[in-house]
Amino acid sequence: MLSWMAWTWPTAMVFIGIFSAIGVLILLEIRTPGGDTRKGVLGLTTTRGDRLFISLLGTSYIFLAWLGLVGMPLWWPLALSLAWAAFCFWKV
């Protein structure tokens, strides 16, 4: 049924990762409602969901920039992305 979608394991893992992150956010929201709203270092008022969005958007740009300017392998952008995500959830 799903063969037309041409699934591969790596792309499936990406989506499983994103959806589990959203799932974790839902669980957190049920435990502590209100989205943990705060004003971060960028001057933006963000919730947990905003922080995930900014992390993912930043991650896609880090990888695209690395691919375009440097190329393979992608360990460095992975480390950068993890650092960016940690920064987003910690400070933004």
Partner 1 sequence: MKTENQKAWFFVLPVLLLVAFNALIPMMTVVNYSVQETFGDNVFFWQGLDWFQQILRSERFHAALGRQFLFTFLILIIEVPLGIAIALSMPRKGLWVPVCLVLMALPMLIPWNVVGAMWNIFTLPDIGLLGYFLNHVLGINYDMTQDPLAAWVTIITMDVWHWTSLVVLLSYAGLVSIPDAYYQAAKIDGASNWSVFRFIQLPKMKTVLTIAILLRFMDSFNIYTEPFVLTGGGPGNSTTMLSIDLVKIALGQFDLGPAAAMSLIYFAITLLVSWLFYTLMTKDDLN
Minimum Å gap between C-beta 87 and partner 1 is 17
74 and 48 Cβ atoms separated by less than 8 Å: no
Position 57 contacts partner 1 (CB under 8 A):
yes
Contact pick of 1, 31, 41, 43 for partner 1 (by CB under 8 A): 43
Quote the crossing angle between the two packed helices 48-69 and 75-90, to the nearest 10°: 160
Residue 8: which H helix or E strand, with range?
none
Structure tokens, 72: 């393979």
Q: How far is the CB of 43 from partner 1 (least distance, A)?
A: 7
Ranges within 13-32 binding partner 1 (CB under 8 A): 14-15
